[in-house]
Structures are given as C-alpha cells and as structure tokens.
A and B are shown apart, each in its own frame.
Chain A
Amino acid sequence: MNYSKRHWSLILGMLAALLLVSGCNKGKHPQPPQPPPTPAPTANLSANPNSIQRGQSATLTWSTENATDVALDGNKVDPSGSQTVSPTETTTYHLTAKGVGGTQEATAQVTVAAPTPTPTPTPAPTPTVTDDQLFAQNITDVYFDYDKADLRPDGQQMLARAAQMIKQKGWRVQIEGNCDERGSTEYNLALGERRADSAKQALIQGGVSADSIKTISYGKEKPQCTESNEDCWQKNRRDHFTLLH
C-alpha cells in the first residue's frame, strides 16, 4: 500500500506530541494535574494457628485488593482464599500481589515445635486434657457455713448444672469434703463426710447415678490456706470436686 506523506507526518506529529506531553512531565515547566494513578495492591496473609507441633497443620488465609496476579510462594492463587499447610519446620510464607498499581508482599510464619514424647497409651475412652479443663471450669468448689453441711443456693445451682454435664459426658466424680481448722480432728472428718454427702445427694437429684460419685472427707487435714481468720476459714469450709480417670 501506498501511505501518503501527509498520513505519516500526521502520525509522527501525534507521536511527537505524545512524547512531548510525557516528556513534559519530567520537565520543570508547570504541567496540568495528572489523572489519579491506579491504586496500589494490598495484601494480607495470616496463619492460624501460628504455632504447631510437627505433624499438625495450620491454615493460611489471605486477601488482596487491586491485584491481578497473586502468588503464594510462587504458586498462582486466587486474590483471596485459604490453604492448609503442614510444614515440618518453622516456615515463613510469602504472598505476592501484583497489580497495575504495583506489587505488594505479605508474610506469615508458622512455628513448628518438636512434639513432647508420647506417653504410654491409655485405654479408650479416657477424658482428654480438654475434659479436665472443662470439668474444672464448670464444677467449682461449693462453700459451707460454720459447722453446717447444707448447700447454699449458689451451690445448689452449680450442682444442678453440673449434674447435666456429668451425665452427658459420662464422667465419674470424686467429692472431697473439707472443714476449717477450728474444730476437732475426728469430728471434722465426720463433718467433711456430711458435706461431701450433701453434694452427692444434689447430683443424684440431678440424675447422676450414685455409682458415678465417690465421696471422701479430708476433715481439716488438707487446708487451702492456714491463716486464722474468717476469710481463710471460709475458703476451707468447702467441697472440692475432681474428675476420676
């Protein structure tokens, strides 16, 4: 084809104008305001949990904005998403978010600890660590008045709730009755027995079977504190509950 000279000079003129315009940006002459630049990408990366034992897994979760090209340690991924990882050593993960407005990186580290030596296997079913915590959080000490073995209203309420949890979990419970230091050694063993029995009866009323409950009295032999004041005495006039394994 045959482009006329006029056609070419028009194009060159336009190009020159473009170059001039772009070149003018770097010049000292005041320029008209630039149109707003494309926003830079944002990137967020997190690991949960961020500390595991070897053999366990963590979940990486990320989100980005204004990115067209997102990669997790070199592998292309969606702009936002999550992935499960099981590193065998402490590892730092890199998320790279590229967009028209630039590139943004984010990192997250998963710390890997060697597991503690495996204890000898216990027969199933056994209460787990979580069960002990659950038990301790929900079945709390019950306190008594001076020389009394009657449950107070708050004790009764706790035991009513506790009965449900004990039944549901199939737990076996030990109730330990205690007394303050002032009474006589032998009588306090008997009083502690009554206190433990009070709580036992409340649990039975709540539907727990008697076979699942064991009582023992410590009298005043295992105090929580030893000061001779009402504060401490009250702390010792208690039933304490433990989960039998």
Chain B
Amino acid sequence: MHRVKTTVFALSLLTLTFFAYTPRATAQGTVKLEINMGQERPRIAVPDFKTATGDPQTAPLDQVFNQTLWNDLDNAGIFDMVAKSFYPAQQPGQPTELTAKNWSDPPPNAGVVTFGNVGVNSGKVEVQGWLYDVKNPGAPQILGKQYKEDATPDNARIIAHRFADEIIARLGGGINGIAESQIYFVSTRSGTKEIWSMDYDGANQKQVTKLGSLALSPRISPDGSRLAFSGLTKESWQIMMYSMDLGRTVAFPRYHGDNFSPAWSSDGTKIAFSSSMHSGLSEIFVADASGANPRRLSTGKGDVSPVFNPKTNGQIAWVSGRTGLPQIYVMDADGSNVQKMTDQGYAVSPAWSPNGLLLAFSWVRKYGPGVLGGEDIYLMDIASRQIVQLTHDGGRNDFPSWSPDGRHIVFQSNRSGTEQIWSVLADGTHLQQLTRQGRNTQPNWSFK
C-alpha cells in the first residue's frame, strides 16, 4: 500500500472552535466548526466510469453507479471534489488509459483520481475501479477493485457504496466510510406509525415493522441484526425486538407499566430504556440484550431517552424532568455520579458522538407559554461544557443521531412544512432532505 505524501491524512477527531458561548450566556455566540483533518483535504477527481459493453442495460446502470459514487465521496465531507468542468477530455476506463499529468496539472489539480468501467454481461453487472495517486512520481495505484452482481440498479448503487467506502477507508484517516450504512426511522406513510429503513443517502426506503398500532423510537443493534423499538399493545408500551435476519419480531420480555425509548450499548450486550414498572413514573433501567435482569438506575420524575457513551459504555446520558422542564443529564453506567449538563430551556434527545467527546441534543433555549422559541440541534463538548448551535434555519429540529464516522448528523425537522428526516455534516454544511412522503421522525443511524 503506497503512502501518499503530499497531504497528511491525519483525520481523526472532530474539533470545535467557537466564539465565547456558554450555557449560561444570554448572548448567542456565532459558530465556527472545523473538521480537523491535518494539512488539507485531498482533492479527488471522479470522472464517470466508462461503459465497457454494448448491452442496453449498461448505460442506465453506469449512470446510477456514477451518480452514487460521486454523492458518496462528496457526502463523506473529507474531500475537495474537483469540479467536472475542469476534467480533461479523456475518460480513462483502464489504468493504461490514464495520463496522470493531465489530472495533476491545473486546471484539475487533483491529488487522486478514481476511474474505471461498468459492463453488463449475461445479466450480471461488472465494475472495475481504481484509485490512483496522480501527484506523486510514477502515479502509484492506491486501490484496484472488481465487483460482480446481478444487473439491477440497486446493485449498481451497492457496488458504488462499497467502492466509495474503500476509497474513504484508504484516505479518510482510518475511519470507515458510511456509504453502506442505514438509517432507521418512524414513518406514517403506511397509515400507522411503523419503523422504516433507508440507505444513508435516502435511497431504498422500505417498511420494516408491521405492528398496526404505534411503533416509535427505533434503535438498531451494533451488529445490525436486531432492531429494538417501542410498541403500543392494547395494554401498555413495551420494548419490542425485530429480527432483521428473520424478518419478524422475536420474543422480548414484557414488563409492567409503560416501557419505551430503548438504546444499545455499543458492544451489543446491554439495552437501556425508560420504564414505569417500578413506581408508575418513568425511570431509566438497564437490562441484558435479551431483556432479562432489568436494573433500575435513576429515580427521577419523568426520566427518558437514555443513550450509552459508545466509546466506553461507561456512561449514560438521558433526559429528566426532575427539576421542571426536561434537561440533559449524564451518569455512570451503574447509576452513580449524576451530572446535570443543561440548566435552561427545554433540552431533550441526547446523542453521543462515536468518539464519546460530544453530545448532540435538541434544545429550545427560551421555553415558556408565551414565547416559544425555535428548537434547534446543538452540539456540546462534554469536557468543556461548551455548546455550539448546529441548525439555524427555523422550524422544530429534534432527534439528532450521529453517523458511524462521527462526521454527519441525521435529525428530524419540520422546516419544509411537515416532519421529515434531514442529514447534515457536523460543520453545518451539506444539508440534505432524505424523506418526502408522509411524516417521518426519530431517525437512528446504524453503527456501521
């Protein structure tokens, strides 16, 4: 594996810089968010892959592949995409067709180029893809891959996602790409609230649960095999478990009272949830992943929405109304060392970043019967308690969830008129609407 010299791919931590804004300050500081990636972002050129065969299916699948690959690399947030208008006329389909200098010289001035070809043969789509370092002498190959699947647009997309993730893994400082990740969410479009899934870019939206009642708060397990959610039975709310492998719900213990808002530890061994089984009021419990052995952790009034610190699983953040309006709290995973993280307004929906350093949450800073302020997504650096506002454009924004690469946040927003799922880079750029049909809420990004 060649090392690329010109740029330092030291991407790891997301760091925040901001003007003086603290939770207690009334003046709202402005926000600057920088993704610390070392020296510079790699400039990548992504010419369309050539069509390799005359089969009529080739062109449309090639188009799907090219669009998906471009979007995946653009969405990753770590590249400087060289605009297509700067590309040289030649479209390399094979390494022998690549003239590195044409790409590394201005106007493209690319650091790396990905290229290849797409062909359809006997009902199979075949893709060959390469990634070349064009700035260094000899233009070394970084990556060469070959894929073959049944010739469908879905598979053209899947291959593009896989290839993009390979590129990101090589160039993204050791953090895997998210192009193959999934987002689970609640949708009303089937008539009742059910859990749905979609690709991270909003493609391939499909219904998962068929409860026929009310299904809320989806949380996919770390290995992607089971989906926990809150379901309303005739008697009460219960934590329910859907097996993605078997395509149906599987047995999960039912407890007294109402049980909702499940969350997984990142090692897949524990589930935290809110339950009124003990006192008739909602408290935080942790049980084994099978649902057995629930242990009560909190004793507040109206405690809900627990989440494990995914880096250590040693802490749980959650929401409590114990002092009045809901605020964000953090405790150790055994219930000790309770810390209050917010102390004004209406703060809900905490979400830990994958590196365990930041909490995203939804906040109405000014909350009261008279003036209802906007509800926006905020990021808090846990160590310093400093807070940065991520969304600004109005409406009600809630339920942030981090991507596995720690660079993206998906959330629900009614800024378009109805509640929909949106994604954004953690620096506030690349805002994209992912759903349009029905009302869509409570997104949950998969662990991988």
8 Å CB interface, A170-194 against B:
182-187, 189-191, 193-194
Contacting pair A189 B237 (CB below 8 A): yes
Contacting pair A189 B348 (CB below 8 A): no
Within 8 Å of chain A (Cβ to Cβ): is B440?
no
Give the complex CA separation of A196 and B305 in angstroms: 20
Q: Looking at chain B, what size class is its interface with the partner chain?
A: 35 or more
Query: What mask results when residues 186 to 218 of chain A are scored 1 for a CB within 8 Å of chain B, else 0?
Result: 110111011011001000000000000011110
* The residue from A184, A197, A215, A216 contacting B398, defined by CB atoms under 8 A apart: A184
List the count of A-B residue pairs having beta carbons below 8 Å apart: 87
8 Å CB interface, B350-390 against A:
362, 368-369, 372
Within 8 Å of chain B (Cβ to Cβ): is A131?
no
Within 8 Å of chain B (Cβ to Cβ): is A146?
yes
Contacting pair B237 A194 (CB below 8 A): no
Contacting pair B305 A187 (CB below 8 A): yes
Contacting pair A186 B369 (CB below 8 A): no
Contacting pair B216 A185 (CB below 8 A): yes
A-B contact pairs, 29 of them (CB 8 A): A146-B369, A147-B346, A184-B349, A184-B398, A185-B216, A185-B398, A185-B441, A186-B216, A186-B274, A186-B319, A186-B349, A187-B304, A187-B305, A187-B326, A187-B348, A189-B230, A189-B304, A190-B303, A190-B319, A191-B302, A191-B321, A193-B258, A193-B276, A193-B281, A194-B281, A197-B280, A214-B235, A217-B276, A221-B232
Within 8 Å of chain A (Cβ to Cβ): is B4?
no
Within 8 Å of chain A (Cβ to Cβ): is B448?
no
Give the complex CA separation of A217 and B275 in angstroms: 11
Contacting pair B280 A186 (CB below 8 A): no
Give the complex CA separation of A189 and B232 in angstroms: 12
Contacting pair A187 B214 (CB below 8 A): no
Q: Looking at chain A, what size class is its interface with the partner chain?
A: 20 to 34
Give the complex CA separation of A62 and B201 in angstroms: 83
Query: What mask results when residues 215 to 226 of chain A are scored 1 for a CB within 8 Å of chain B, else 0?
Result: 111000100000
* The residue from B217, B304, B369, B372 contacting A190, defined by CB atoms under 8 A apart: B304
Give the shortest distance, in Å, between B218 (CB) and chain A (any CB): 12
Query: What mask results when residues 256 to 268 of chain B are scored 1 for a CB within 8 Å of chain A, else 0?
Result: 0110110000000
8 Å CB interface, B241-292 against A:
257-258, 260-261, 274, 276, 280-282
Give the complex CA separation of A185 and B218 in angstroms: 12
Within 8 Å of chain A (Cβ to Cβ): is B442?
yes
Most chain B CB neighbours (cut-off 10 Å) among A186, A191, A193 = A186
Determine the residue in chain A with the shortest Cβ distance to B304.
Answer: A190
Contacting pair A217 B217 (CB below 8 A): no
Nearest 9 CB-CB pairings of A with B: A190-B282, A190-B302, A184-B348, A190-B304, A186-B261, A197-B280, A186-B305, A146-B369, A186-B304
Contacting pair B321 A190 (CB below 8 A): yes
Chain A contacts to B: CB under 8 angstroms: 146-147, 182-187, 189-191, 193-194, 196-197, 200, 214-217, 221
Most chain A CB neighbours (cut-off 10 Å) among B214, B216, B302, B346 = B302
Give the complex CA separation of A147 and B372 in angstroms: 13
Contacting pair A217 B261 (CB below 8 A): no
Which residues on B sit within 8 Å (CB–CB) of A197?
276, 280-281
Q: List 9 additional contacts besides A216-B237, A217-B276; criterion CB under 8 Å.
A: A184-B399, A189-B258, A189-B274, A190-B281, A190-B304, A193-B276, A193-B281, A193-B302, A196-B280
Within 8 Å of chain A (Cβ to Cβ): is B33?
no
Give the complex CA separation of A115 and B368 in angstroms: 56
Give the shortest distance, in Å, between A214 (CB) and chain B (any CB): 8
**With A146-B369, A194-B281 as contacts: A185 and B442 at CB distance below 8 Å:** yes
Give the complex CA separation of A44 and B369 in angstroms: 63
Determine the residue in chain A with the shortest Cβ distance to B306.
Answer: A186
Contacting pair A193 B349 (CB below 8 A): no
Determine the residue in chain A with the shortest Cβ distance to B216.
Answer: A185
Give the complex CA separation of A121 and B281 in angstroms: 38
Give the shortest distance, in Å, between A183 (CB) and chain B (any CB): 8
Determine the residue in chain A with the shortest Cβ distance to B362.
Answer: A184
**With A146-B369, A185-B441, A186-B260 as contacts: A221 and B281 at CB distance below 8 Å:** no
Contacting pair B372 A221 (CB below 8 A): no
* The residue from B193, B280, B305, B326 contacting A193, defined by CB atoms under 8 A apart: B280
